[in-house]
Amino acid sequence: MTTAREIMTASPRCIGVNDSLRIAASVMADLDVGALPICGEDSRLKGMLTDRDIVVGAVAMGMDPETTPAGALAKGTPVYVAADDDMHVALELMREHQIRRLPVIEEHRLVGIVSQADVALSMAASETGETVESISR
């Protein structure tokens, strides 16, 4: 059994729930990523923030990126997988929710992210293909 912990990218960078969207965009640019986890002051996952969320969900709606906190775009309950869950659980969550990046949690704390790239590098080609196809619908 392959676990989420075995294929995740460890120690992901979080954006604080109170950090501005401009700071979030700057961190994304520095890391060359299109998404960041949003973490509260308690270091717990509050949601995910994508570059698309910033542009379409905030800037296009007239929100000021300098003053709008990342937490304002954290909606609903975040989808995540436990670090020791079988990767098939993670794949199913990615397919079901059509998400490219899945936070990995241990003891209520964010410890990693499973991305499409992690899946492609670690799983069988057939599973990778099915997952990417489901996500991209």
Q: What is the CATH number of the domain that holds 117?
A: 3.10.580.10
Q: Is 39 helix (H, G, I), strand (E, B) or coil?
A: strand
Count CB-CB contacts under 10 A for residue 48: 23
User: Which residue is listed with tokens 């975040």?
Assistant: 78
**How many structural domains does the chain have?**
1
Share of the chain above pLDDT 70, in %: 98
d(CA 36, CA 24): 8
Mean pLDDT score of the chain: 90
Specify the DSSP element, H or E, that contains 93: helix 87-97
Both tokens of 55, joined, read: 């542009």
Whole-angstrom distance, CA of residue 72 vs CA of residue 75: 8
Question: Do 6 and 122 form a contact (C-beta atoms < 8 A)?
Answer: yes
Report the first-to-last Cα separation within the chain, whole angstroms: 28
Residue 79 structural domain: 4-135
Read off the pLDDT of each residue in 33-49 and give the average, rounded to a whole number: 91
What pTM does this model have? 0.85
What is residue 132's predicted lDDT score, i.e. its pLDDT?
67
Which pLDDT score is estimated for 51?
94
Contact 54/40 with Cβ under 8 angstroms?
no
pLDDT at 120: 82
Residue 54 pLDDT greater than 90, yes or no: yes
Is the pLDDT score of 117 beyond 70?
yes
The pLDDT assigned to 129 comes to 72
Cα separation, 78 vs 108, whole angstroms: 12
Output phi, psi for 35, to 5 deg. Answer: -155, 150
State the average pLDDT over residues 109-135: 80
